[in-house]
Chains A and B, each alone.
Chain A
């Protein structure tokens, strides 16, 4: 029973990372109709930026982490202004390939640096590495941090989307860009904001993942698990994406415990296909349709 609870907690922690990446993906998709296949690379570059500032330049982690997130926000905004803006209105696949190409450039650039690609790195964050012991339940402190940070981020985003002018404008743009433009909202500006936020969120996910799996060039592959989460959440629902991510993480962990080896890795994709066939509009869409 305790083993089950421990596996579940670590699954939920990993699921939070899936959820955050899915969230960034859905945020960008809703606002700009662009399918971003570079969230994993943004995540990886974010983690490496923090690593370079922390271990390379000797900054304390307290400064390196916000600086890395800030840098990725800037990268997201610059990429939108410079390149991605021109893919607006193209078919899904064209935009998808464009982001994949940009992701390849980012990944190639990191791979080309020998210090970055030749080993895996540990980003030492000041949490201590003493596991939390609660009765006979032992939980790694990184997992707790991931879960707490995800809840905090979700709260912040909720406040941002409900209360702030920019958040409301961003939502208006995703609902109906033309009407938003008529209300005096700069739709192009909102696209920049969406990409900046999306890149920042991916960087947050990378930094949260760093203590769990180390920093390496292929850590962005985790984004492949975020696509099923985004689809399960209905592609256009931010809370749906986060919840589906957590659900997938937990399902994966439980599958790893009770099913034969290897099944764990395909669970998200099998669930994806099953959900697509049973609820073609995602869980959220399926429920929404039933509630008139």
Chain B
């Protein structure tokens, strides 16, 4: 964080612009804008992971459930006639509440045991979504109305991309402010040495809870937007697969810096896109294409951990910040 934030921000912007230009040439404007909305939404969720995992050093295996809270709150309210823009803050708040709830075991547990409790939390949430049919319609899922406010609706890809980018910019700015504040310093202190942090008057349990509330709120926001862009929510979208995809996103990008969320989101969204020409080349019936995305994503995370453990955005040899 301290090296040279301005230069790194400029570098990131230039690199992102370069990637965007290449993607624009390859896919055309409409598809590219549609993908941009997803990149920005994934990046918001990735920021949540980075706050919890990279900054406060906790293991969260249930991030998908926090997105589910946001997505379902947003869908439920929109279907009851709330304007999407009014529902969004509530999705954010309830996502934060979900994070608070998931962090309760952190008061007694640490490290891996706490990680296991977040896994259990996520699996319970998924089951509740399947069974609470009066609200969620179970596995059948719910159709989500388009995002909008007043007479304006985000129906086209460029409007969706605009909304996501605005949300991402706001989230990024808030995260920067948080990390530079007393709360952010407490997170890093707890991450680096819990005992030493406690000796300095930082309450580790409270600090972890704050990280989960902030991470949960970001997840809630990302989940709500994701529901709008997909246009449909069902419990299995928010299962363990999503939780791990977000962790992979954060690690590929670089879990210690906020820019890592952007890089990771680009990689995660780009992998299936880059593979689609390869899939088209394969003769039909020779191999099942669904497996290739999993192989590619798995190979990327294995390669990143082995050869660049600090992630794309990380600097230097060690995971420094």
Contact = CB atoms under 8 A, between A and B. Distances in A.
Interface of A: 35, 83, 86-87, 90, 92-94, 96-98, 100-105, 107-114, 117-118, 224, 227-228, 231, 235, 261-262, 265-266, 269-270, 272-273, 276-277, 280
Contacts of A107: 291, 294
Nearest to B241: A104
B244 interface: yes
Contacts of A277: 105, 108-109
B10 interface: no
B123 A97 contact: no
Contacts of B251: 94, 97
Contact of B124 (A93, A266, A280): A266
Contact of A265 (B111, B113, B116, B127): B127
Contacts of B155: none
Interface residues of B, number: 45
Interface of B: 53, 59, 105, 108-109, 111-113, 115-117, 119-121, 123-124, 127, 130-131, 240, 244, 247-248, 251, 285-302, 305-306, 309
Given A101-B299, A109-B295, A111-B288, A94 B130 contact: no
26 contacts: A83-B302, A86-B306, A93-B115, A97-B301, A98-B302, A101-B301, A104-B298, A105-B295, A107-B291, A108-B293, A108-B296, A109-B291, A112-B288, A112-B289, A112-B295, A114-B285, A114-B288, A231-B116, A265-B127, A266-B123, A269-B120, A269-B123, A269-B124, A270-B120, A273-B117, A273-B124
B117 A94 contact: no
Nearest to A41: B298
A83 B112 contact: no
Nearest to B121: A273
Contacts of A100: 244, 248, 298, 301
B120 to A, nearest CB: 4
Contacts of A276: 105, 108-109, 113, 116-117
A199 B296 CA distance: 23
A269 B298 CA distance: 26
Contacts of B290: 111-112, 117
A90 B251 CA distance: 13
B291 A98 contact: no
Nearest to A227: B116
Contacts of A270: 120, 124
B112 A108 contact: no
Nearest to B248: A97
B117 A272 contact: yes
B34 to A, nearest CB: 25
Contacts of A103: 298
Contacts of B295: 104-105, 108-109, 112
B287 A113 contact: yes
Nearest to A112: B291
Contacts of B306: 83, 86, 98
Report which residue of A108, A228, A270 has the largest number of chain B beta carbons within 10 angstroms of its beta carbon.
A108
